[in-house]
């Protein structure tokens, strides 16, 4: 028993001794390393806390580095903005100098040159870089922010509109950069009128007229005198000499360059050059050109053509004033840059019977609108209607009646007197007019006044039934030259009924507005269920169908626009048959381009559409709709539209493919050979409400062509001869303005009915919209400087002071705003940096308490442990020694 007890005591003493030794070793390690813990198992809870504090300290150190980098970035940003502000201040000083209007041309040019150099300096400063990173390029910081486009000469932004951001605290990011669109926002407007394309050989042979050009509240006019000699030019007396009518060989013309110079240099009725810059843009590869009128003060731009006085001296006799007939088509209207709304021509005796042809119109301009309803009472004269409209609209709209005198000669040549309505908003803003009840009355459309596209969704079926329901129909909507691809999904714009998906026009209009923008597109559900879609800004509006996105069906379009009857240009009727029954040649032409398409018998509509696309190239949109993609008869429709928005003409040169198969012709074409035709009476040709009567006695068909082209001056109606087959000549009458043409009387085998209407309303044989505003382009400060340079060169002191100077001040405010935001960020980051530094001091102190050894305390504990250990050794020695002796004995 004693032996067992002694053994247990020995084990206890030895265990205590080992524990004491281990404690001493631990304290010795803590004193030598300065750390309390060597392994997580030493104290899991304490080690976990130590690691957490250590991580926080490490993160804060990285955040401090991020903040230092951010403040460095922002400091350089502020330096760049300060330099930009200095340049802007110098520009402002120059604007004030130029605005006093006392300089000579050389001095203005010197100011313009300095502004250009300052623009270059702004570009360089805006491309400020730090360590290879461009400050104002957004996230695309390796790309220069602003560069001059070599093709246009304009400064363009190359970065993106996102910010560089750093993590400045746990789960907190901070902006450290400003992109170029914040420094130079797109907030300024430029107004431009670009004409339709015309050939490089274009010659304007119109009658004398006055172009009224208005910029803001300033107006200037330029007279374009007619080049006409109504006399004996060939030395042979003719009945046509001195007959007051334009005859073959009597007209001279202006090139587009001459017209531009005439407008730019006009001073007789105001200095047009101070208001606008007129230039000619040429495309030599395609052989076309266009006239461009550009304002340089950012104020609304409008152009209205007016006829010259009723009586003026003839070029052949300066002493005698003789009556001359007005032009029914002005230069601005022909080129598509007219912004005043003009009706068709009415005879002086025309009246409007409200009972049979009621007026249900909506007129709107910005926040102003009027709904005019006249459906009872006595018949109205055209002047009565103008008075009623003026009364209804109040002080924001002006409606006047413009008259044209009767023209007659000793022979049978005659033109009856006419009149027309001219609409203008007093502040120059856009105007929209449309019928409220098209099924009851289409008088606005019939009068040529409708500016909206009216959607008729009767029996329009969504075309993708049977295909992927998630594949949208694609429609192109172009407003003022800017194109938008609109996606129309079946579930979005159609309603399932029975076994089909019926298109809802109001849903289509809503989708177009939402994707293009409510500031550009407006629509209204009309009182008969149809929907009017229009450009709120009055800019030119085009709508065309686009091919399916699926490559398998890329030759076809959804036909949404075509079937709603709003596809711009010409939309043919349902194609007659599955293949072309015979050979033929189709001619498609606009004011600037012409293409002939040879068709072989047996070709399908799809093959012909592909051929048109290939031969026409870039100036024509071509779309083919097939209801079931089968190519079967009665399910297909073809549409064509000029990309510049100009009207088209389509007719057969040979055969009848356009008229009888594709159902897409728009002209009057002789039904038989006219090579032997001789005139013996009068031919009356009507377009846009007025009629020219031509004495055809003794004429052959070539004489008739020349006379028609001289009389209409190649404006509203044009005549030409085509050869259907060798020796078989056909006369064609077509309208460059897209008007329906009608011929009566001594017609050389021309059809008696008007030319076909392919989707058009009123006087038009195709879908077209009339602009009532210049195209509006938004630009930044660099674009504003381009305008300033031009305004200075033109010496437009008033425009510089009234319009451009306030915008310079606004741009300087933008810079100040960005500098303020940058300063606020720097202040925030400085505060965050100070806080993080203090936090790290606290965390380091806490970390030291948690992880570091207190050497004094450890030394004391070690001494105590050492004493205990030595005492333990002595105690064990005394106990173990007797026990061993007892065991041995």
Give me the DSSP letters along 164-207. -EEEEETTEEEE----HHHHS-S-EEEEEEEPPPEETT--B-PP
**Residue 40: its pLDDT value, please?**
61
Q: What letter would DSSP give residue 528? A: T
Q: Pull the structure tokens for residue 634.
A: 């009665």
Helix (H, G, I), strand (E, B) or coil at 780: coil
**Residue 66: its pLDDT value, please?**
82
CA distances from 665 to 568, 752, 757 (A): 15, 16, 9
Q: Which of 831, 668, 813, 820 is nearest to 750 (CA)?
A: 668
**Residue 270: its pLDDT value, please?**
86
707 contacts 699 by C-beta, under 8 angstroms: yes
Q: Side by side, which strands form the sheet with 570-571?
A: 570-571, 636-642, 620-626
How many Å is the maximal CA-CA distance in the chain?
A: 172
Q: Which residues of the chain have pLDDT under 70?
A: 1-10, 13-14, 16-17, 20-54, 56, 231-242, 308-327, 410, 464-467, 631-634, 843-859, 861-862, 865-866, 868-869, 879-889
633 contacts 575 by C-beta, under 8 angstroms: yes
Helices 105-126 and 781-794: angle between axes, nearest 10 degrees: 170
**What is the C-alpha separation between 723 and 655, in angstroms, rounded?**
10
**What is the C-alpha separation between 18 and 22, in angstroms, rounded?**
6
How many CB atoms are closer than 10 A to CB 369? 13
DSSP 824-867: HHHHHHHHHHHHHHHHHHHHHHHHHHHHB--HHHHHHHHHHHHH
657 contacts 582 by C-beta, under 8 angstroms: yes
Backbone angles phi, psi at 765, to 5 degrees: -100, 10
273 contacts 232 by C-beta, under 8 angstroms: no
**Residue 311: its pLDDT value, please?**
39
Q: What letter would DSSP give residue 102? A: -
* Residue in the block written with tokens 């804060």: 60
Q: Pull the structure tokens for residue 597.
A: 């398409």
**Residue 321: its pLDDT value, please?**
39
**What is the C-alpha separation between 211 and 213, in angstroms, rounded?**
6
pTM, two decimals, is: 0.85
**What is the C-alpha separation between 16 and 253, in angstroms, rounded?**
123
Q: Alpha helices of 399-557 — where are they, by DSSP H?
A: 443-446, 490-493, 505-516
Q: Which of 321, 304, 303 is nearest to 402 (CA)?
A: 304
**What is the C-alpha separation between 377 and 466, in angstroms, rounded?**
54
**What is the C-alpha separation between 159 and 559, in angstroms, rounded?**
38
DSSP 24-74: HHHHHHHHHHSBS-SSGGG-HHHHHHHHHHHHHHHHHHHHHHHHHHHHHHH
Q: Which of 57, 133, 118 is nearest to 836 (CA)?
A: 57
163 contacts 263 by C-beta, under 8 angstroms: no
189 contacts 779 by C-beta, under 8 angstroms: yes
**Residue 30: its pLDDT value, please?**
57
Beta partners for 400? 422
How many CB atoms are closer than 10 A to CB 113? 13
How many CB atoms are closer than 10 A to CB 172? 10
Residue 105 parent element (H or E): helix 105-126
**Residue 267: its pLDDT value, please?**
82
- Hey, CA dihedral for 423, 426, 432, 435, is it positive or negative? negative
**What is the C-alpha separation between 561 and 544, in angstroms, rounded?**
6
479 contacts 539 by C-beta, under 8 angstroms: yes
**Residue 310: its pLDDT value, please?**
42
284 contacts 174 by C-beta, under 8 angstroms: no
**What is the C-alpha separation between 327 and 455, in angstroms, rounded?**
34
Bridge pairing between strands 418-425 and 341-342: antiparallel
**Residue 749: its pLDDT value, please?**
92
436 contacts 362 by C-beta, under 8 angstroms: yes
153 CB-contact burial (10 Å; exposed 0-12 / middle 13-18 / buried 19+):
exposed
Helices 855-888 and 2-33: angle between axes, nearest 10 degrees: 160
């Amino acid at each position: 028993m004693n032996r067992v007890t002694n053994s247990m005591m020995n084990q206890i003493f030895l265990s205590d001794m080992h524990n004491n030794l281990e404690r001493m070793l631990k304290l010795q390690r803590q004193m030598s390393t300065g750390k309390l813990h060597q392994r997580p198992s030493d104290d899991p809870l304490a080690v976990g806390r130590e690691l957490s504090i250590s991580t926080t300290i490490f993160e804060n150190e990285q955040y401090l580095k991020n903040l230092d980098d951010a403040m460095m970035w922002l400091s350089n940003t502020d330096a760049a903005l300060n330099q930009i502000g200095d340049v802007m201040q110098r520009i402002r000083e120059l604007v004030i100098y130029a605005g006093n209007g006392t300089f000579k041309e050389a001095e203005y040019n010197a100011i313009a040159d300095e502004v250009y150099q300052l623009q270059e300096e702004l570009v360089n400063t805006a491309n400020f870089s730090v360590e290879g990173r461009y400050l104002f390029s957004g996230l695309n910081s390796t790309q220069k922010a602003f560069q001059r486009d070599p093709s246009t000469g304009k400064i363009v932004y190359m970065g993106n509109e996102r910010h560089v951001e750093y993590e400045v605290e746990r789960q907190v990011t901070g902006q450290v950069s400003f992109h170029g669109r914040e420094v130079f926002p797109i907030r300024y407007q430029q107004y431009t009128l670009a004409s339709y394309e015309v050939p490089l050989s274009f010659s304007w042979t119109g009658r004398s007229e006055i172009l009224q050009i208005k910029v803001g509240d300033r107006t200037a006019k330029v007279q374009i005198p007619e080049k006409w000699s109504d006399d004996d030019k060939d030395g042979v007396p003719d009945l046509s000499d001195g007959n007051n009518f334009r005859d073959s060989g009597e007209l001279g013309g202006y090139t587009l360059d001459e017209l531009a110079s005439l407008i730019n240099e006009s001073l007789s009725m105001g200095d047009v050059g101070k208001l606008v810059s007129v230039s000619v843009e040429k495309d030599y590869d395609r052989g076309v050109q266009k006239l461009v009128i550009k304002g340089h003060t950012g104020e609304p731009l409008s152009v209205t053509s007016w006829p010259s006085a009723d009586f003026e001296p003839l070029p052949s006799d300066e002493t005698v004033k003789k009556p001359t007939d007005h032009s029914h088509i002005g230069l601005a209207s022909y080129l598509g840059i007219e912004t005043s709304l003009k009706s068709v021509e009415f005879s002086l005796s025309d009246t409007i019977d409200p009972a049979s042809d009621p007026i249900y119109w909506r007129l709107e301009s910005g926040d102003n609108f009027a709904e005019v309803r006249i459906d009872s009472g006595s018949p109205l004269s055209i002047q009565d209607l103008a008075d009623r409209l003026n009364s209804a609209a109040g002080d924001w709209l002006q409606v006047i009646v413009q008259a044209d005198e009767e023209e007659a000669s000793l022979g049978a040549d005659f033109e009856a007197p006419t009149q027309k309505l001219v609409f203008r908003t007093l502040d120059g803003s856009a105007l929209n007019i449309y019928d409220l009840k098209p099924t009851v009355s289409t008088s606005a459309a019939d009068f040529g006044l409708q500016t909206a596209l009216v959607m008729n969704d009767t029996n329009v079926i969504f075309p993708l039934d049977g295909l992927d329901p998630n594949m949208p129909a694609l429609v192109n909507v172009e407003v003022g030259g800017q194109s938008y691809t609109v996606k129309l999904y079946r579930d979005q714009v159609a309603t399932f009924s029975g076994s089909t998906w019926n298109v809802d026009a109001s849903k289509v209009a809503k989708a177009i507005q939402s994707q293009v923008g409510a500031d550009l597109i407006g629509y209204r559900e009309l009182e008969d269920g149809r929907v009017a879609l229009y450009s709120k800004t009055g800019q030119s509006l085009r709508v065309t169908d686009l091919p399916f996105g699926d490559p398998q069906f890329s030759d076809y379009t959804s036909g949404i626009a075509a079937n709603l009857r709003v596809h711009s240009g010409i939309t043919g009727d349902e194609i007659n048959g599955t293949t072309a029954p015979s050979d033929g040649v189709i001619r498609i032409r606009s004011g600037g381009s012409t293409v002939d398409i040879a068709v072989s018998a047996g070709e399908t509509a799809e093959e012909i559409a592909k051929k048109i696309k290939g031969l026409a190239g870039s100036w024509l949109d071509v779309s083919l709709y097939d209801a079931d993609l089968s190519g079967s008869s009665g399910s297909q429709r073809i549409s064509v539209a000029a990309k510049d928005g100009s009207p088209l003409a389509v007719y057969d040169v040979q055969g009848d493919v356009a008229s009888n198969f594709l159902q897409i012709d728009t002209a009057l074409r002789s039904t038989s050979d006219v090579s032997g035709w001789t005139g013996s009476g009068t031919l009356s040709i009507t377009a846009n409400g007025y009629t020219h009567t031509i004495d055809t006695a003794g004429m052959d068909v070539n004489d008739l062509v020349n006379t028609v082209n001289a009389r209409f001056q190649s404006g509203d109606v044009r005549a030409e001869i085509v050869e259907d087959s060798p020796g078989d000549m056909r006369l064609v009458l077509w309208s460059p303005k897209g008007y329906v043409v009608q011929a009566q009387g001594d017609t050389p085998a021309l059809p008696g009915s008007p030319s076909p209407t392919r989707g058009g309303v009123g006087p038009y044989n195709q879908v077209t919209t009339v602009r009532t505003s210049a195209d509006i382009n938004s630009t930044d400060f660099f674009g504003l400087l381009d305008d300033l340079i031009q305004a200075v060169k033109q010496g437009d002191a008033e425009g510089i002071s009234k319009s451009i100077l306030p915008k310079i001040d606004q741009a300087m405010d933008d810079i100040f705003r960005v500098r303020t935001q940058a300063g606020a960020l720097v202040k925030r980051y400085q505060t965050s940096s100070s806080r993080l530094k203090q936090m790290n001091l606290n965390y380091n102190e806490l970390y030291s308490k948690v992880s570091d050894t207190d050497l004094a305390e450890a030394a004391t504990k070690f001494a105590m442990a050492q004493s205990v250990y030595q005492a333990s050794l002595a105690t064990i020695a005394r106990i173990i020694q007797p026990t061993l002796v007892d065991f041995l004995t």
